[in-house]
A = this chain, B = another copy of it.
Amino acid sequence: MTLTAEDMGAYFRAGGKAVNGWCSIPSGVTAELMAQTGFDMLTIDMQHGLIDYQVAVQMLQAMSASPAPKIVRIPWNEPGIAMKMLDAGATGLICPMINTADEARALVEATRYAPLGARSYGPVRAARLHSGYVGRSNDLVQVFAMIETAEALENRAEIMAVQGLSGVYIGPSDLGLSMGYEPSLTPGEPAVLAAIADILDTARQAGLLAGIHCGSAARVRQVLEQGFDFGSLATDIGLFAQAMGQALQQARGPAVTESSSGNY
């Protein structure tokens, strides 16, 4: 079974797992290369990636030959950009720093049509890509709240009880930082690992999807085995810089192996 934008919910409900390609470079060319690589799903990062709206639209278009779902991490829980990216054809949104149930409700409000929310009607590109868009929108569009602070950890059950969320997404670096540790995408601190397990557990009980940011391919394998629905291979910038550095070193002399593409 292939993961597509049309059946993302069904795919994961059927137990499917996914490797999520993470796009931080503001370029249709690298976006298309990411899509050609064959990732199961693709995310354009408008928060920490160097990407703004107009380039994000170009990137969505450049990836349009691929059936993989195109997700967008928006910069912040702001309704203007959330709605613009859905109208532009993203079938999923990841929203950073959802720390309370109120913040989760605001996110749902911005991303779901009435009566569930108050998303404004005008799916200018989305409706051309997906027939019957409005009627199917609540099934089609996957909305993920990031659980990535100590406060969110404590509030996780209330957050996940908010109707209209599709799932949660964990940012281990921010989570660790807010708990007083060094930010890391390959966390080793027992408290952070326990927090991650707790969030996953709560998501399972709430019937929500769960994804997580990963700093290496090995970490992606690990989280999928742990039970996450998807792990993100972050980031294109990190992997690009790492590949270039290794190639340069090989051209000059013996190779050096680095194990991670960065911490964000």
Chain A residues packing against B (C-beta within 8 Å): 19, 21, 24-30, 32-34, 36-39, 47-55, 57-58, 61-62, 64-65, 74-76, 78-81, 83-84, 87-88, 96-97, 113-115, 118, 120-125, 128, 134, 148-149, 171, 173-174, 177-178, 180, 183, 217-218, 220-221, 231, 233, 235-237, 239-245, 247-253, 255, 261, 263-264
Say whether, besides A26-B27, A76-B79, A244-B236, A50 and B57 are in contact (CB < 8 Å): yes
By a CB distance below 8 angstroms, the chain B residues around A173 are 121-122
Q: Contact check: which of B26, B36, B97 meets A29 at CB < 8 Å?
A: B26
Structural contact, B29 and A237, CB atoms closer than 8 A: yes
Residue of A47, A76, A80, A124 ringed by the most chain B CB atoms within 10 A = A124
Given A80-B76, A118-B149: A241 touches B25 (CB 8 Å cut-off): no
Docked complex Cα distance between A255 and B96 (Å) = 32
21 A/B residue pairs, CB under 8 Å, sorted by A: A19-B248, A21-B244, A26-B54, A29-B237, A30-B30, A33-B241, A36-B241, A47-B120, A47-B122, A54-B54, A61-B61, A62-B62, A64-B65, A75-B83, A76-B83, A78-B80, A121-B264, A217-B248, A217-B250, A217-B255, A236-B240
Given the known interface contacts A27-B26, A121-B263, A121-B264, the answer about A241 and B52 at a Cβ–Cβ threshold of 8 Å is no
Q: Which of A61, A237, A251 counts the most B-chain CB atoms under 10 A from its CB?
A: A251
Smallest beta-carbon distance A212→chain B, Å: 13
- Given A27-B25, A76-B79, A118-B178 contact (CB < 8 Å): yes
A146 to chain B, nearest CB (A): 9
Q: Is the CB of B251 within 8 A of A19?
A: yes
- Chain B residues in 8 Å Cβ range of A218: 250-251
Known: A37-B244, A47-B122, A52-B54. 17 other contacts (CB 8 A): A19-B252, A28-B61, A33-B240, A37-B245, A47-B120, A48-B122, A76-B79, A76-B80, A76-B83, A78-B80, A118-B149, A122-B173, A134-B183, A217-B248, A239-B240, A239-B247, A240-B243
